[in-house]
Homo-oligomer: A and B are copies of this chain.
């Protein structure tokens, strides 16, 4: 059990992308930043060391399947190819499933949520729901504490500080509404699935 901690976020993102299709590092980084859009961006300085480590742990391997195209550019036995295409190993796929099944704080805190959400397509329905609910209650906690702080200090705040807090609150409130919608949809889906599965319509727990 080489219980390893390699940031979590990057690992999940890399494994998730490589699961869809094998790629080399340079392309991986571009796809990564396109996928994460507004939420995050990684540099080569973090991506390559991560790949190196995943390789060392046997979660990914160099993909030699389409040598044909690379053989020309390859440098025989002497050294490195100019492109190194990585793909998941069986262990890597297992690890990915493990990461996708985690519905803890790492999945709903600011750093992790975007990445986990981006791979919801590969995530089990019940895990999706728990992550969405986890994030929602996390945000609601934050709302409460900021509202309380605001109420306490309202008088002695200048206009700009007030404006900042107002905008912050509204942003988070907006995200909560978004989450509510998503959660609603997930529950509907869940019910439909369960109904289809049984026949008429039994009950809906919750």
**Given A37-B146, A114-B164, 18 more pairs with CB closer than 8 A:** A34-B149, A37-B149, A37-B164, A37-B165, A37-B168, A38-B146, A38-B171, A38-B172, A117-B164, A118-B160, A118-B164, A120-B160, A121-B159, A121-B160, A163-B182, A171-B171, A171-B175, A174-B174
Interface residues of A (CB under 8 A from B): 34-35, 37-39, 114, 117-121, 142, 146, 149-150, 153, 158-161, 163-165, 167-169, 171-172, 174-175, 178, 182
A34 to B153 Cα, complex, angstroms: 9
A171 to B39 Cα, complex, angstroms: 11
A159 to B123 Cα, complex, angstroms: 13
User: Chain B residues near A117 (CB, 8 Å)?
Assistant: 160, 164
Interface of A is mostly: helix
When the two chains form their complex, are residues B118 and A161 in contact, meaning their CB atoms are under 8 A apart? yes
Copies in the complex: 2
User: Chain B residues near A159 (CB, 8 Å)?
Assistant: 121
User: Chain B residues near A165 (CB, 8 Å)?
Assistant: 37
A121 to B142 Cα, complex, angstroms: 25
A38 to B120 Cα, complex, angstroms: 26
When the two chains form their complex, are residues A169 and B34 in contact, meaning their CB atoms are under 8 A apart? no
Q: How far is the CB of A43 from the nearest CB of chain B, in Å?
A: 15
A153 to B161 Cα, complex, angstroms: 40
* Residue in B38, B142, B158, B164 whose beta carbon sits within 8 Å of that of A168 in the complex: B38
When the two chains form their complex, are residues B158 and A121 in contact, meaning their CB atoms are under 8 A apart? yes
Q: Would you give 8 A-B contacts (Cβ < 8 Å), ordered by A?
A: A37-B146, A37-B164, A38-B171, A114-B164, A119-B160, A121-B158, A121-B160, A174-B174
